[in-house]
Amino acid sequence: MEFLLDPPYGAGPTLGRVNAIEVWRPHERDVVRFRDVDVFGLPALEVVAGIRRNVEVVANEDDDGFTARELYLALWRPFAEDDDPAETEGYFFQSVLVARPGYDDTPAEAAARLAAGQEPGY
């Protein structure tokens, strides 16, 4: 798969490269999986439990989403409504973002990553 960016996005070493891809809740017939976990078809807390079988997942401090920092896999919903399946926006995740390591680094974190011989995330 190749993505052509016009104009090129990013800065420095990531100029013109795809740094992140975000998928929004698709139609019911489409399925988005992380390994064996149906990201949009299962209730949000079941998705988190399923992903936690493979990697650490933490609750976000500033919203009702969750993040697997090791993979930079971010799961988002506008609010939590874990007891009401009819309230789909809060019961299920609405988007998932996967990004390259360091995608949301601060300038100091990017400098430390570069000093350690890794590519900066932005």
- Containing H/E element for 111? helix 107-115
Band of the pLDDT at 14, cuts 50, 70, 90? low
User: Strands across the sheet with 20-24, in order?
Assistant: 20-24, 95-99, 73-76, 66-68, 58-59
Closest CA to 22 of 93, 80, 79: 93
Residue 26: the pLDDT is 79
Tell me the average pLDDT of the chain: 84
Q: What is the pLDDT of residues 31-52, one digit of tens each?
A: 999 999 999 999 999 999 999 9
Whether pLDDT at 78 is above 70: yes
Residue 3: the pLDDT is 45
What are the phi and psi torsion angles at 96 (to 5°)? -135, 135
Report the predicted TM-score, pTM, of the whole model to 2 decimal places: 0.77
